[in-house]
Amino acid sequence: MIIKWIAKIGTFLLLCSSQIVLSQAVIKPFVMSSDDLAGGLFKEPEALTQTHENGNVTVDVTSMLSSDSKFASGVYSSGKTTFEITDSYGVDEFMYFLSGSITLTSTDGSAVTVEAGESVTLPKEWAGKWSTEGYTKIWVIYSADGSGLE
């Protein structure tokens, strides 16, 4: 009887220790190499390619989504498009442009053009017109309620 209990306790302890080891996965940084940023990431199975109503094709790759789903980063590519954001942008987004450019025209009519090698941060409350001949960007988004990061 005692031997059976010792065997059961040993098995239990072994299972517990293996669960602890399994649940402590190593979290590693996600590196985007120059090859990745030159287009390699857009060839990955995780790349989401969409053709929009206006015919514009975009490709989006999320490189990291935080455990609370409020912060994310990735790369995005878009062809020629123009669209209006009438309510608000909805998320706080930092963008660094690898190629191409965008022109952002705020609701008061003021415009800024952001070109390759430059960055811009849009607050979630921004509204206006977004126009581009095409671009590729690195993006970083914060959303307090997690919306916009699905």
Residues 76-102: tens digit of each pLDDT: 999 999 999 998 888 999 999 999 999
pLDDT tens figures, 1-27: 455 444 444 444 444 444 444 557 888
Structural domains of the chain ordered from first start: 29-142 (2.60.120.10)
| Residue 51 dihedral angles phi and psi, to the nearest 5° | -105, 120
Please give the model's pTM, rounded to 2 decimal places: 0.79
8 Å CB contact between 101 and 133: yes
